[in-house]
Every structure is written in structure tokens, then in C-alpha cells.
Amino acid sequence: MHKTKLSTGAAMAVAMFIAWPAGAQAPGGMPPKQVGVVTLKRQDVPRIVTLPGRAVAASDAEIRPRVSGIVTGIEYDPGKRIEAGAPMFTIEDTTYQANLASAEAQVSSAQAQVTQAQSSYERTRKLLGSGTTQAQVETALATLDQAKATLQSAEAARTLAQADLDWTTVTSPIAGIASVADISVGDLVTANQADALATVTQLDPIEVDMYEPSSRILNVLDDIDEGILTLSETLNATLTLENGRTYQAVGEMVAPGVTVSTSTGSIDTRFRFKNPDNLILPGMFLRGQVELGSISAILVSQSATNRDKVGNLSAWVVEDGKVSERQLTEEGNYQQQWIVTEGLEDGETLVADGLTGLQEGMEVVTVPVTYDDQGVIREVKQDQPAEDTAAAEGEAPAEGEAPVENAAPADDDAAQPADATE
């Protein structure tokens, strides 16, 4: 057999290949991929839902006259706050003053008749058996009772006449902001007319109706029954205004919904907010964030996860220097982090950066990373204080911020973090 003679260089290369340990990285090969990792931590995460809402006035009174007559004055400034009982309109009262005077005269006359009947009855009763009969006493008593009834009727007429006179000054039944008057001085108004003279709207406090799909309420009840969700003792809400501004006041629930809308399938729940600056006006569309309670879960950055074509959520973890893909179960999100209830364990190492090209079982080199205030991944320095790595451990942000549940995740391409090794 013809033997091929190897060159000196080729022989050395073959010898090195044979002598290299199995599974080790040969010289000149690609090194293990570097990935940025964070340590996961299970914690109690607020369960917050975002609901559409619309502001409604706590009270809205339409002002109408209770007597008829000519309007003689408008006693308020439109657009300014007025107190309950403050005068708004005056109606010509000459007729009503005359009616009151006549009613008072009737009362005086009836009182005189009662006095006379009372005296007659007393005399007749004293002379019973010596100058009068029982029939005469009974007649005197009947006359006294009739006089008293006439007095009561006259007093009732006087009360009504006094009320009519008082009603010639039209007052506000509530405190609030008065609208522009719909009538002018000199206009004729009638008692209890259909058209309102003006409207008084109470703006502080203001109320907001929030609309919750009935299907979501059923899911929340299931989570409570299964022990996943711990319900708060009281339901409070925060608001986001139409311009995206967060409203500072916290609202409290005043009326839970008890019926489902046949057109939208939602339940209307009402919350009340302080509104001293009249910033929220009736009819405004708002977004409300309602904290239902807390849920034991692990927060995972949305940029560290992937979704397949059917919507399944997954992430990569590092075990014994190799990556493994996990399927996750999430319950909405909290400040751009998924609330993961299944698929990850406390203390596991999650791949947060360098996800591109990962394959099951691939060996990697881990580099601890964290997120800065803008959500950008930064490598953790060896001397970095432990409290600065809170974001890397997935801790819930400070209380008071406006988290959003069930918001659409950021675009994967746009949100792809920078390589932690750069």
C-alpha cells in the first residue's frame, strides 16, 4: 500500500486534535456566547387593571321657578361658585305680598271667632242645669270646634301664601358652579315650567364611572377563589387625564355595579375624587387604574421575553452554564414587566440581554446586568451597592407610580436592549 507522507505542519495539527480533550473548545473556535443575566425574585405585586371612564357631576340641579311672574333680577355671577340657598333670580312679588296680607287677616278673624266661641261655651257649661240645657252646651261646643277648624284652615292658607312669597326669590338647592341664565330680566316664567332657568353643577367632589368587562370580573373572582389574588380591603383608583397627565388625587369607590350593560357587556362602577381646582369636568373621558389587590409573582422585563405566533410567552434561563427555554404564564403586566405566576422560580438566573441566536442547551458566559431609570440594560460593576441592583432582581417599583395592566408589549425590534458586553 502506498503511504502518503504528511508535511511537518499537518502532522502537528493532527497530533493536537487527537490530544485535545473531548468537549473542550479547540483553539481558533468560537467562544461561548456572553449574555446579560438578572436574578429573579418572587414578591407581592400589585394587581392593577386599567379601565375606561367618564366623569359625571356628583350633583346637577336644574333651577326652575315654583311661582309664576315677571323676572325682576338675576342675582348671581355665571361661572362662579355659589352656596346652597344663595339667591339666583327674583320674581315680581306684589301679588304674593297681597295674598299673604289677606291670609293673615283671615287668621286674625278666625282667632277672634275661636275666642268668642270659647267664651260662649264656658258660660253655657257653667249654667248647665240652672239656665241652660245639655243640648245648648253641646251646640256651644260644636261652634267652638268649628271656629278652631276655621282657624287651622286660615293658618294653612297663610303658610302657603308665605311660601309663595318666599319662592319669588329663586335659590340654589346645592353648592356648585352656576351656568349662564337661560332667561333675561322682564321674561315671564311659570310655576314648575319645563325649561330650566339655569343649572348648578357640583364639581367638588367629582365622580367617575369606570367600565369593567364582566368576563374580567369573573376571572378576578376565580383568582381569588384559587388563592392567586389577595383582595384589598378597599378599592381605590387613580386617574390619567385626556392629555396623559396623572391626576394626583386618589379616588374611593362609592357604588359598585350590579347590572351588566346589554350593549357593551361591561359593569359600571363609580368612584369619587376630590376636585378642588375643577380640573375634571363632567363628560371628560379618562383612564382609571384600580388596584384590586396583590399577587405573588415574579416580575420579568418584557424585553427579556418572546412570543410565538400563537401568543405563547417564553424566556431563557441559565442552568449549569447552559440556556434553557421556559414557557411562562403571565397575569398582565406591571410597569412594562410581565407578572409571571408560572414557569420561573425564585432565585433562578434569567437571560435579560443577548437573546439573539440562543438555542436549547447552548453554553453561555453570564454577565450580571441591571436596568437604569430609562430601562436601558447596564452591566453591574463589581463594587456596585446591593441596593442599586434592585431593578435587576425584578423588584416592584416604588408605590405611587401609575402601572398599567394588559397593555400591549413594546415592539421587540425597537425594545431590543444593547449587548451587555459592549
pLDDT tens digits, one per residue of 354-399? 888 899 999 999 999 887 766 677 777 655 554 444 444 445 544 4
Q: Give the helix/strand (H/E) hosting 217.
A: helix 214-225
pLDDT value at residue 391:
41
267, 217 in Cβ contact below 8 A?
A: yes
User: Which H helix or E strand runs over 110?
Assistant: helix 94-126
pLDDT band at 18 (very low <50, low <70, confident <90, very high): very low
Global pTM exceeds 0.75: no
Distance CA 348, CA 363 (A): 17
User: Which three cell numbers, joined as nine digits, stand for 35?
Assistant: 449574555
Task: Tell me whether the CATH fold assigned to 38-55+204-393 matches the one assigned to 65-91+170-195.
Answer: no
* SS3 assignment, position 312: coil
| Position 331, amino acid | E
For residue 66, the model assigns a pLDDT of 95
Q: Which residue is it, cell 502518503?
A: 4
H/E run at residue 253: strand 246-255
- Domain boundary assignment for the chain: 38-55+204-393, 65-91+170-195, 93-167
Q: Are strands 33-39 and 364-371 parallel, antiparallel or unpaired?
A: parallel
User: How far apart (Å, rounded) are the C-alpha atoms in residues 306 and 309?
Assistant: 10
Burial class (CB in 10 A: 0-12, 13-18, 19+), 404: middle
Mean pLDDT is lowest, of 5-14, 215-224, 324-333, 403-412, for 403-412
The Cα–Cα gap between 124 and 105 comes to 29
**In contact, 260 and 267? CB cutoff 8 Å:** yes
Say if residues 272 and 314 touch (Cβ distance below 8 Å).
no
Please say if the pLDDT value at position 44 is more than 80. yes
Highest mean pLDDT among 248-262, 273-287, 328-342: 273-287
Judge whether 294 and 227 are in contact, CB under 8 Å: no
Looking at per-residue pLDDT, the higher value among 311 and 96 belongs to: 96
Question: For the purposes of burial, counting CB atoms within 10 Å of the CB of 306, is it exposed (0-12), middle (13-18) or buried (19 or more)?
Answer: middle
The SS3 of residue 5 is: coil
**Residue 82 belongs to what H/E stretch?**
strand 81-82
Output the CA–CA distances (angstroms, integers) from residue 226 to 16, 229, 230, 233, in the order listed.
61, 8, 10, 18
**E strand or H helix at 250, and its extent?**
strand 246-255
Q: Indicate the pairing of strand 322-334 with strand 337-342.
A: antiparallel
Span 253-259, mean pLDDT? 87
Residue with cell 375606561: 52
Query: Grid coordinates standing for 337?
Result: 414587566
Grid cell of 369 as nine digits: 446586568
3-class DSSP assignment, residue 57: strand
Average pLDDT score over the chain: 82
- Give the C-alpha separation, 223 to 295, whole Å: 9
- Of 20-29, 162-171, 206-215, which range is least confident? 20-29
Q: Which class is 38-55+204-393 in CATH?
A: mainly beta
Band (pLDDT 50/70/90 cuts) for residue 32 is: confident
| CATH architecture under which domain 93-167 falls | Orthogonal Bundle (1.10)
pLDDT in tens, 61-86: 999 999 999 999 999 999 999 999 99
Rg of the chain (C-alpha set): 42
33 near 362, Cβ under 8 Å?
Answer: yes
Give the confidence band of 216 by pLDDT, cuts at 50, 70, 90: confident
Q: What single DSSP character describes residue 68?
A: -
Q: What are phi and psi of 102, to 5 degrees?
A: -65, -40
Residue 29 is predicted with a pLDDT of 57
Instruction: Give the count of beta carbons closer than 10 Å to the beta carbon of residue 254.
Output: 12
- Residues 19 and 11: beta-carbon distance below 8 Å: no
Is the Cβ–Cβ distance between 371 and 330 less than 8 Å? Answer: no
Question: Rounded to whole angstroms, how far apart are CA atoms 200 and 83?
Answer: 10
Which numeric CATH code is attached to 65-91+170-195?
2.40.50.100
